[in-house]
Amino acid sequence: MINISKILSEEFSIQELINFISDLSRLHRIQGCKELEEAGEYIKSILEKEEALEVELKKFSYNKPYGSFRAVTGWWVKDGELRLIKPKEELIHSYKNSRTLITAHSPGGTIEGEVVHIGDGENPANYEKLDVNGKIVLAYGYPYIIYKQATSRGAIGLLIYKKSGVESAVPYTGLFLTPEEAREAKAPSMSISRRMAEKLIRIIEKGEKPIVKMKVEAGYREEAWIPVVTAKIGNSETEIHLCAHYCHPAGTVNDNISGTATLMELALSFARAIKKGKITKPDKHSIKFIWFPEYAGSLAYMINTKQKVEFCINLDMIGEKQHLTGSTLNFIKSPPRYFHPYEAVVYYKLKQALSHSESLSSPRKALSYKYDVNIYETGSDHDVYLHFNTPSIMLNQWPDKYYHSDQDTIDKFDPQIAAKIAMAVGTAAYIISKNEEKGEVENLVRSYFYEYIGRELSETPSKLLEKRQKYLIKTIGKRILSQIQDEIIEKIVESVSEKEGKREEELYVYKGPIGPISTRQLFTKLSREDLKKLRKIYEKEPYMRTLRNLIPLYMKKPTSLNRLKEMIEEDYGIEIETKIPKEMIEMLIKANLIEKAG
């Protein structure tokens, strides 16, 4: 049997990877910007040099909505600065040093005014305490909501800070306005480090009135394009997708030029190995490498193209210097009901690639890099694939103290680790896409059945243990038996199979657009009181943000509240009160995303 990892590693260039990182991170890759389009052209130009890759660049208009993703305005930005005028003059931040300074999609303009500190800018009650008319609002929270709240009350500018992360970092924030909203937007918006925000707050607390000058050289474009680049090897109808998003501000690397550039070099490694005859093209599934702007690109691509995707691996923030970022490489699984046995191959190949530490006296090596497995959570393009009924996993570094800030720079990226991750992903994708590798796939899948069940049950409270054990054995077991023959697993599955009884309960069904439910979708459709109630749900149960995005999947067919509660408990192994999903369903009914069935 050929050593795929060794072959790919011989063709993988660390120097080339660093060059890609450097070239792409120079571009201000904000959705709707010209430089995002340039980044797409750059990726295409590199890949099409290799004949073994079937390369294509598709463009979709940002002026159109795609499923749950709203239309987004085109935008450009050239320069800007934030300067304190009173009580003494000093430069606070400049665009030349922090590309994250200007909030994505901020209107241009130069303004000068008094700063008022709102605090939580999403809370309407905070605006009742202070007069913001004709002033510049300093606040934290979701930028779009703050912008709407502040400007509707007459604010002439906005300064946004974050309560967490490195205090000197300038955060990446975005309004992501629709073309209609952009035509009405007048107030410039900027990000400010927590350190400088606290300085302004101290001035206010002393009874003084800080005056700042905001200069934003930016504006809107009539048309902007969503560039999606694909590179394919193999001729099978069914495909394995390896994807990465390449949007976000200039200068930022780990999110997600790390995944983008690593995937580029992996695709080139495959092409070189095929050209040299070291490996043959996959014959069971084609492998498609795909790069897109986050959410906008994946939704536009999946909606507008006929894809037969068997399985997807999303590379979003990989290869970090963990001693600097404080992160762990997380293997984010699909929800159990969307499980695919191919998940096993990625899991084991990744674990193998990261195990290089010598043990005291064991023949096996230990993990040399922080790596963990987590149940499904939302936050990237793997979400979109699930909404198209495609099992999808994500590799992601978290927590990252420099996340979404101007300090997410190239010095925090480790190309050697990125290469190891690439080899693991590439090896996994290849062996599941080759008929001749069926034996190894079956062995790994068989092993994963027991590890998956054991790990999940170890995290399950005793009250749910028996019920969840049956659910996981039945759900995971049946999917595994669709790929392999195993009498022992078959008997285990048969031992827990039981018919579900029919219940007479009120049923609800999802009727919104395909795709994850976004915060701004709810903001534009719910009252202030309902939004306040929704915030309390999130504060009490943060995981409801993830489960909110699963509701369109759980409720494609008419479903009762009790059944929804059961599905959450089955997939997540957590006890929840019925009132929690009930409150969420009530909100989604008001937002016109769910209705009573029949």
Delimit the domains of the chain by residue range. 4-70+224-358+366-439, 74-221, 453-496, 507-596
- pLDDT lower than 50: segments of the chain: none
Per-residue confidence (pLDDT) for residue 501, from 0 to 100: 61
Per-residue confidence (pLDDT) for residue 502, from 0 to 100: 64
Q: Which residue has the tokens 């995303």?
A: 593
Pairing of strands 507-510, 594-596: antiparallel
d(CA 112, CA 188): 11
With b meaning 16 or more CB within 10 Å and e meaning fewer, what string describes 439-457? ebbbebbbebbeebbeebb
How do residues 421-449 score in pLDDT, each as one tens digit? 999 999 999 999 999 999 999 999 999 99
165 within 8 A of 399, measured Cβ to Cβ: no
> For 488-555, where are the E strands, in sequence order?
507-510
Per-residue confidence (pLDDT) for residue 450, from 0 to 100: 97
CATH hierarchy code of domain 74-221 = 3.50.30.30
One DSSP character per residue, 266-310 reads: HHHHHHHHHHTTSSPPPSSSEEEEEEESTTHHHHHHHHHS---EE
Three-state secondary structure call for residue 591: coil
375 alpha carbon, distance to own chain's centre: 15
Per-residue confidence (pLDDT) for residue 299, from 0 to 100: 98
d(CA 456, CA 481): 19
Per-residue confidence (pLDDT) for residue 113, from 0 to 100: 98
Per-residue confidence (pLDDT) for residue 538, from 0 to 100: 81
**First-last CA distance in the chain:** 57
Fold (CATH) for 4-70+224-358+366-439: Aminopeptidase (3.40.630)
With b meaning 16 or more CB within 10 Å and e meaning fewer, what string describes 378-387? bbbbbbbbbb
